[in-house]
Each structure stands twice: as C-alpha cells, then as structure tokens.
Amino acid sequence: MRKVETVGLVGGGVIGAGWAARCISSGIDVLVFEPKSEMHDRLRESVQKGLGAIRRLTLSAPGKEGSLGFVGSIEELATNVDFVQESAPENEELKMAVHAQIDAVAAPDVIIASSTSGILPTLIQSRCKHPERVIIGHPFNPVYLLPLVEIVGGEKKSETVIQAAAEHYRNIGMKPLICRKEVPGFIADRLQEALWRENLHMLAEGVGTTEDLDDSIIYGPGLRWAIMGSNQTYHLAGGEQGMRHFMEQFGPALKWPWTKLEAPELTDELIDRVVDGTEAQAAGRSIRELEKLRDDCLIGIMQTLRNFRTSAGLVLAENEERAYGAKACKRWSTSDDVSKPLELYECNVRAEWVDYNNHMSESFFLLAAGDASDALFRYIGDDEAYREAGHTFFTAESHINFVKEASVGEPLKFTTQLLGLKEKKLHFLHSMYHAGSGELLCAVEQMLIHVNTDEGKACPILPDVYEALQAIWTQHQNLPQPERRSREMSV
C-alpha cells in the first residue's frame, strides 16, 4: 500500500474534525469533502482547538504541520489522496453508497476506512470493486487525544491492508486494535453499551440519579480503567492467586445475574430523566466548557501515564520517541561544522509548566534546559550505554538569567555554547529562544562534573566523548562571550 502523505476526510463533523487535527499535527496534509459549506468554518475552528490540545499534550518539538483544504466532490477527494477516512452520518445505506463512490475512483492501493461505530465492514464493502481495501477504522471522541482505533476487516479482508492501516494509525500517534472477528459494535462499544444499558435500567428503577450513577464510576472503577481494563483489574482483585481465585469467589454471581442484559424500554419518562439529570450535572456549563475540562484532564492523565510507560502513556511516549528519532540530532562526527552555538533541542511550553498568569514558572526554565543538556549529551556520545557503564555528568552549579516570559504551547528552541572544558569539568550556556519570533527568553549557564557513578567520585571524561567536546570547544572558545554569561563562573 502507499505511503500516506495526504489523507482524504469524507464528512467534516465532530469525528472528521478530530481526524483532521490528528493528521495535521503529524505533518499529513488533509483534504475534506463536507457537503454543508456552513460546516467548513466550524471545522477550521475545531481543528485549531484540537491542535492546541495536542500541543499541550506532547513533549515533542513542534514538527511541520500538514495543510487543510476542502474539495467539492468525493471524486476530487478520492483521486488526490493516499488514504481515505470516511466519517459521514451513521446510516447503513449512506455508508454503502459513499464507499462505492470512493472505491469507483480511488487507485486500488488507497485504503478506505470508515469511522462507523458499529456497521459491519462486510456490509460497507459490499458494493465495492476492491472490497479488500475497505475496512473499519473506528476512533473515539475526541479523536485528536484518544489513541484507540479499532480496525475491523470484512469477509473479503486483506491482511496486507489491515497491517498497512495499523501502520498509518501508529504513525499518527494511535493505538490500533485489530479486531479478530467482525461483530456488530466491535469491541469497545459493545462493552460500553453493556454498561450504558445497566445505567438506564437503574435510572428507570430509581436506583440512582444520573449523578449517582456517574459518581459510581468516576470515584472508583473509572480511575482504574485508564490503567487496566476489567480483566487485569479483576486479576489483582483475586489477591495473591490472581484471576483463578477471583473466578472461584465471584464466578457464581454471574449466574444470578446482577445485570439485566436486555435494553430497557425507552419511555418518555426515562428519556426525560436522563436528559434532565445530565443537564443538572452540567450545572450551567456549556458543552464547550465541559469539552475543555475533559480535554485538560485527559492530557493530565496521559502525561501521568507516560511517566509510568503504561497504557495510553506508553503510546504517547513511543510516539514522541518516534518523532524525536525522526529528527533526533545525529551523533557528533569529525566532519560536523561546530563553529557556531549548537542547535540541538526544541520543545513546546507544556501546560503543567505555567502558573496562574499562563507564564512558564521559573523552575521549569531549568527543567527545559535539562532536556537541552540531554540533547547535548546524546550528541557527544553520553548515551544509555555510557551511563550504564558507570559514567555521567553531574550538575555542580546553575545560573539562570530570565529575560522574557513564555506562555503555554509556545515553541522553544535552544542553542548551546561551550564556555570551558577540562579533564573532569564541562561548562556551557544554553540560550532559550522563542522558536517563532527568535526572541531570547532565558539563558541557563551550568558547570558539570564528570563522575564515575560506581565509585561515586569525579573522574576524567572518557576519550570518545572528550574528543567530541574538544572539537566543539576548539571552535567555541573563539566565539564572542554570550551576553548573559554570569561573571562568577569559570572552570
């Protein structure tokens, strides 16, 4: 299948806009066919909101974003893109017709994926000439933040297509879950629907209000679900013997059963109860305000999970590492021109770095500079292997010179100038600039001691790393002294 550089989005509502933001942030150009032209401005606005959330989520430096364009027909879209993602209204007949239309004109190596929440792929591909390239790629709202996408193939599926689609979704920061069987509702919605059915039963029976039922999730099981699903959670609930003990203890209760399984009658009274209840819970907050709360919390949760390299946090970390690897600074080599301050690191101001003024708090200037030091270490060859062998640099002294504030989401870039080098000591200054305006925001000057971590004492920098530093220092000692250099520090 082809390399995906341009994605075509059929339908530009809630889900189409989410796909657009996710693709654009990954550097993919997007073409949209949305029949209601009045939706175009709304889509542009939603894309900006989604891009803002992605920038707050990720540690990756802002890469080149893709473009956003609109086309007037499905034919124009399908002949100009490498991958089609259909997000038109949930209607079987409409989906079958739209997919037949796309399939009739798209080149055979273009994958066509449907965002449908539950319509079977065999049905959707039934009128297509190349049914094997028509699959389900079911995302979750908000698409620009949640990584899950369920891939489902139909009766005429092709393993090559499934794997190529999974690769595309991974490249845009997602977790593809390949469903092993085609079933209505796929996996996640089937589980969600079971819960939702019980929720409605309990509401109808007066067991609890919408708020009580939501509380039963958000203060308990919901907190666990971002980390472990039902299976792993219950494995832990079985104590030392795990799932086997859990099944012995709670298995019989499944036969009682606690749950109703059949959907409740959707009476007017029940609909009023669920609508009035959720409106009361919103307490006057608009959908937009609640979306912002949801997005901010999702970002915080995923950033925390990233620290533990688990579930959605692992997907985020791996995506950032891929992005970093793609433009990672190469290792120093003798042919490198190091006559100017080194440009090794870029990032965005993260949401948790700013205070109540929306300005970066002072301690985070040092944190960002620490990441710039990591980039320098990698460049000179002080990597995982170097550290595992028992060598590293410890910071002995730091001076920060604050020049200008930075706000959340703003792009930063660093330059690094060596100010001194000795057998066991390294002295440098990072200048932090606004990557857009080029203004200097702060300077962080540091003195580092090279140590043998096994012995816990200073030792000479090892030859390969020293050679790289010496080559840089030979050039940098001829540079003008940085304006923000402190007067107190020297090797």
Ligand X SMILES: NC(=O)c1ccc[n+]([C@@H]2O[C@H](COP(=O)([O-])OP(=O)(O)OC[C@H]3O[C@@H](n4cnc5c(N)ncnc54)[C@H](O)[C@@H]3O)[C@@H](O)[C@H]2O)c1
> Which residues here bind ligand X, judged by CB under 6 A?
10-16, 33-36, 39, 87-90, 94, 98, 115-117, 138-141
CB of 96 to ligand X, least distance (A): 11
Q: From CA 223, how far away is CA 170, in angstroms rounded?
A: 26
Q: List beta partners, residue 360.
A: 354
CB of 379 to ligand X, least distance (A): 43
Q: List beta partners, residue 391.
A: 452
CB of 52 to ligand X, least distance (A): 20
Q: From CA 353, how far away is CA 437, in angstroms rounded?
A: 20
Pairing of strands 148-152, 175-178: parallel
Output 8 or 313, the one with its CB closest to ligand X.
8
* DSSP state for residue 354 in the 8-state scheme: B
Q: Sign of the CA dihedral 334, 335, 338, 344?
A: negative
CB of 470 to ligand X, least distance (A): 57
- Order of strands across the sheet that contains 83-86: 68-70, 29-33, 6-10, 83-86, 111-114, 134-138, 148-152, 175-178
CB of 97 to ligand X, least distance (A): 8
Output 175 or 413, the one with its CB closest to ligand X.
175
CB of 18 to ligand X, least distance (A): 8
Helix (H, G, I), strand (E, B) or coil at 117: coil
Helix or strand (DSSP H, E) at 114:
strand 111-114
* DSSP state for residue 351 in the 8-state scheme: G
Helix or strand (DSSP H, E) at 442:
strand 440-452
**CB atoms near residue 175 (< 10 Å):** 19
In 438-474, which positions are buried (b, 16+ CB within 10 angstroms) versus exposed (e)?
eebbbbbbbbbbbbeeeeeeebebeeebbebbebbbe
Q: From CA 109, how far away is CA 112, in angstroms rounded?
A: 9
64 in Cβ contact with 54 (< 8 Å): no
For 160, residues 6+ apart whose C-beta sits below 8 A from its C-beta are 1
CB of 273 to ligand X, least distance (A): 22
Output 200 or 441, the one with its CB closest to ligand X.
200
Q: From CA 190, how far away is CA 184, in angstroms rounded?
A: 8
CB of 115 to ligand X, least distance (A): 4
How many residues in total does the chain contain?
Answer: 491
Dihedral through CA 273, CA 277, CA 278, CA 283, nearest 10? 150
Using CB atoms within 10 A of its CB, is residue 27 exposed (0-12), middle (13-18) or buried (19+)? Answer: middle
Question: Between the CA of residue 134 and those of 99, 106, 119, 158, what are the distances in Å?
Answer: 8, 11, 13, 9
Q: From CA 15, how far away is CA 5, in angstroms rounded?
A: 20
Output 275 or 328, the one with its CB closest to ligand X.
275
CB of 196 to ligand X, least distance (A): 13
Output 6 or 116, the one with its CB closest to ligand X.
116
CB of 274 to ligand X, least distance (A): 17
Report which residue's Cβ sits closest to ligand X. Answer: 13
CB of 143 to ligand X, least distance (A): 8
Output 118 or 208, the one with its CB closest to ligand X.
118
Output 33 or 144, the one with its CB closest to ligand X.
33
